[in-house]
Structure 1
Amino acid sequence: MKKLTAITCIIFLLASCTKFVDTPSPESSVDAAKVFEKDNSAIATVNAVLSDLGNTYSILQGGRGVSIVSGLLSDELNTVSMLPDYIEIWSNSLLSSNTIPANIWSGFYRNIYNVNATIEGASASTSLTPDIQSQILGEARYLRAFMYFYLVNMYGPVPLITSTNYQVNRVAGRTSVNDVYKQVIEDLKEADKLLTVEYRNHLGAIVTQRFRPNKYAAKALLARVYLYTGQWADAEAEATAVIDQPASYNLVQDLNQVFRQPASAEALWEFAPAYGAVAAGVTSLFTGDGGHFNPAVLKAYGLGPQPSGYDLSNYLSDSIVNAFSATDKRKAQWLESVTAGGKTYYFPFKYKTDVFGLSTVQEYFVVQRTAEVYFIRAEARIQQNNIENGVKDINAVRSRANLADTSAATKAAAMGILEKERRLELFTEWGHRWFDLKRWPGKDNPAISRAEEVMKVITPLKGGTWKKDWLLLPLPQTDIINNPFLVQNNGYQ
């Protein structure tokens, strides 16, 4: 393998570091310590990860990102795409050769390697400014936890890579979901200690933009992880810590402003458009999921694959469109339609701006927001039989949508309300619907997941045949071939 210095690999994310099984050998990392001698070069390692994650065609955004892939896998999105990779995902008939899961996998591990290098380098440095060192380590710990959260929810047990030791990494087997979650919790607790309540930029200065995670972003993600792992009291406590900061985080009452800039009071963390340019003080376009769903773009460019390769093929399923009541403001303000070939297609309209041809930023890509934190606390309370207060948290979100308060006498009834409200509030955001269905037991048959109940009905409507194997994505074939200790998920051999 061509030798590259660690500074080149970390900051510029060159192809030599794309696969976690092909990380640099020790002799190619001889200059790594120099990266962490100065604040600017050290913090640039985190900038590189944020830039890669927030890029238009990254593993998180765009037509092949987490939100759209999860929406197609579940009952959120339909597609008119002719691309085989899209059709396989949407029809729940994935093959191990599908390039989209492979790209998401390799993208996460590319950035996990870079985060590990940052943690090692910043921890060992004796010359960094203490505040900058804490910021770098806190952000890196948060980002590693964030990426592993998505890996275990999309692929199940995954290799837990926490160092840059290439000899260990290239033969790493799969770690249980429980053990991965233990590492995620440890990282988030450490991030909570290291990060400040203020938002800071790439120079460590306090800013109003929420482009980098802070202490409360770490608490909100920790609350989510506690919820997923059934640690109800801890989930409630972390969620409450965020909700108890109303001056900084609240439910923005105007739905049209939830995703707008300047920083929405609902946002806990958001991606800057073209992050690297903004970090350098240059205003750039917002690009990403907003453009893929925006009806203004669709009306201008048409439904379907574009000559430029920008695919505008995915739209909301009838089941979610019909789930909104007529008085729900979210239906009026977060849904829009386009008519093509005599058929009306509905799209998410959370992001309002036609991103093409703009010279200024008007919207940021919101990663975490307060509404989800209310739902986390609601569910944690319901699971602890504090049903009344759990439903109050749900009603706080319902009220903004112009819906009357609801009530429930039993845990099952309250969870039914929660499922519907999470679906209608968080649709096409970060895989929430798909992950919820997978983690909840079935309503009619608690022995299976809610996803199996729902997808047995939905998949035939897509022209596919549901199999439990489709709950997880396949691991990349190349990694299976290169690493004899890496075992493929069931159904993809």
Structure 2
Amino acid sequence: MEVITVKSYNPQRYVLVFLLCMVVFGCDSLVDVDPPGTRPPPELIFQDDLTAVSAVRGMYSEMSSKPYFNNVGISLLSSLSADDMRALPGLDASKDRTPFETTDIDPSNPLLKEYCWQPGYRYIYVANSILEGLAASTGVSVALKNQLRGEALFIRAFSDFYLTNLFGDIPLPTSPDFEKNLHIERTSSAKAYDAIVTDLREAQELFLQDKDSLFTKNDFPRNRASYWAATALLARVYLYLGRWMEAEQQATTVLDQTSLFTLSDSLNGVFLAESQEVIWHLLPVVKRTGTHEANLYLRQVNKKPVIHLTASFLETLEPGDQRAIHWIHTARVENTDTVYHFPYKYQQTEAQDQFHVELRLAELYLIRAEARAHLGNASGAIEDVDMIRRRAGLTSLKGQSFTDDILLQKIAQERRIEFFAEGGHRWLDLKRTRKASTLSLVDYKKWEDTDELYPVPQSEISSNPNLGPQNPGY
């Protein structure tokens, strides 16, 4: 990682950094960006290494500062939409959350825009602003420019990945230009995936030249996008596309880096700041506050958690699964037999010894396991699944005989338990494996097949009719 040393105080530089923050973090909508003539010239803001690094650091701070999108927002809404979590009824906050768990969402529901659409496109706008600024800059060193461009491409791909999985066909802005984005149309999800793959592969190439010198065992900047983060996300993307061989190859590339990554021996250590399992995490940016997950899932009203795990999720836990002890907590209502179970992966609401984890090694094992199962390598798949089961205190699957379908069910089961309350995995897994229709069996849901996609926020279509027509069923 290139280190920028400030040898003397330069007021102009700090003014430029402030202007950049005002510019790239001020938009509230896909079309609510800077009108022509209001944005400082990119070459001015990206005049040297210091201002360029400050811009990219600001991008991560923006992603970490609020409980939206990647920061618990998608995890919460997706877990409600699937069958893992429910919201405590009767609360003001539950009024907008409950339609996600009943799959009866109105396009005017404010959480669609506040938690998903708006922050996702804000991050894309920031990434595009950085890409434009770097391209115009003559003062940023070549090596650093490549590194920062790779980071911006990664963030754009990451945001596009979630947006297309939530909404289907989506706009794909590649510029921060006001005029270009004012009437932008939606692009097919297939083309969105093409763009995601292109961005991640270019990011890999930009990182590749210096990947070994950037990261070491004891000083790995896991709070920034890297070659390994791009490779891990690409493995996930290939899995979603059913490109099994490529998914296996990308996952193996990361898993082979044993000097950089190892599974945490302790379940309590997975989400710690120093965890060697982490590939990419985000730091809390507000002093004396923990992660947004902790502040949501540990919150209680009258000793009842505002979000709790469903009975169907709890019933899938095998006897002896240590994740039930270390990652799940309980709250008993006084003078009753009622017990609520809630996520306890993030355990501190004030201390900052845990960071918000976006990508971790366990996912790569289960990506490779699923890819190997589809490629006919059952023994290799079981070996990878056992890495996760062993840490959870469960018996090995080795030596057992499974049909292809049963083996895939075992892998899906491990994914559900390992990644509950993380990254929307359960909801997205049900959809990509064409199992979402099983949610029609959940008694509190009003399931229809069109519920696999969220509606585009109605206010966005009203601002830009080219985003219509609305997704089917809404």
Q: 2:107 touches 2:455 (CA, 8 Å); kept in 1?
A: yes
CA distance in 1, matches of 2:213, 2:292: 23
Q: 1:71 touches 1:428 (CA, 8 Å); kept in 2?
A: yes
Alignment equivalent of 1:469, drawn from 450, 457, 464: 450
- Aligned pairs, number: 447
Q: 2:271 touches 2:355 (CA, 8 Å); kept in 1?
A: yes
Alignment equivalent of 1:224, drawn from 215, 218, 236: 236
Is 1:115 equivalent to 2:108 in the alignment? no
Q: 2:368 touches 2:381 (CA, 8 Å); kept in 1?
A: yes
The within-5 A match list for 1:322-471 is 322-340=315-333, 342=336, 343-353=338-348, 355-356=349-350, 358=351, 361-406=352-397, 407-440=400-433, 449-453=434-438, 455-458=439-442, 460=443, 462=444, 464-471=445-452
Q: 1:199 touches 1:209 (CA, 8 Å); kept in 2?
A: no
Tell me by how many angstroms 1:286 deviates: 2.1
CA distance in 2, matches of 1:244, 1:364: 24
Indicate the residue corresponding to 2:35 in structure 1. Answer: 25
- For residues 329-369 of structure 1, the C-alpha deviation after alignment (integer angstroms, 9 at most, x for no partner) is 1112111100125210001111222x24x4xx211111110
Is 1:291 equivalent to 2:275 in the alignment? no
CA distance in 1, matches of 2:421, 2:214: 28
Alignment equivalent of 2:272, drawn from 248, 260, 263: 260
* Aligned-pair identity (%): 32
2:396 is paired with a residue of what secondary structure?
coil
Counterpart amino acid of 2:224?
R
| 1:405–1:152 distance in 2 versus 1, CA, 3 Å | same
Indicate the residue corresponding to 1:36 in structure 2. Answer: 46
- For residues 372-395 of structure 1, the C-alpha deviation after alignment (integer angstroms, 9 at most, x for no partner) is 000111111111111221121111
2:86 is paired with a residue of what secondary structure?
strand
- For residues 177-229 of structure 1, the C-alpha deviation after alignment (integer angstroms, 9 at most, x for no partner) is 1111111111111111222436969xxxx944511111111100000001111
Q: Single out whichever of 26-35 and 422-431 deviates more from structure 2.
A: 26-35
Alignment equivalent of 2:140, drawn from 111, 128, 131: 128
CA distance in 1, matches of 2:142, 2:86: 50
Counterpart amino acid of 1:51?
S
Tell me by how many angstroms 1:26 deviates: 3.3
Indicate the residue corresponding to 2:459 in structure 1. Answer: 478
Q: Single out whichever of 469-478 and 426-435 deviates more from structure 2.
A: 469-478
Tell me by how many angstroms 1:238 deviates: 0.4
Tell me by how many angstroms 1:303 deviates: 4.4
Q: 2:108 touches 2:459 (CA, 8 Å); kept in 1?
A: no
2:358 is paired with a residue of what secondary structure?
strand
| 1:475–1:323 distance in 2 versus 1, CA, 3 Å | same
- For residues 298-335 of structure 1, the C-alpha deviation after alignment (integer angstroms, 9 at most, x for no partner) is 4xx6446xxxxxxx511111111121122111112111
2:38 is paired with a residue of what secondary structure?
helix
Q: 2:24 touches 2:125 (CA, 8 Å); kept in 1?
A: no
Is 1:184 equivalent to 2:168 in the alignment? no
| 1:420–1:438 distance in 2 versus 1, CA, 3 Å | same
TM-score (norm 2): 0.89
- Gap runs ≥5 in structure 2: 1-14
Is 1:140 equivalent to 2:144 in the alignment? no
Q: 1:303 touches 1:340 (CA, 8 Å); kept in 2?
A: yes
- Gap runs ≥5 in structure 1: 278-282, 305-311, 441-448
Alignment equivalent of 1:100, drawn from 111, 118, 122: 111
Indicate the residue corresponding to 1:307 in structure 2. Answer: none
Q: 1:398 touches 1:404 (CA, 8 Å); kept in 2?
A: yes
CA distance in 2, matches of 1:230, 1:285: 40
Q: 1:374 touches 1:394 (CA, 8 Å); kept in 2?
A: yes
TM-score (norm 1): 0.86
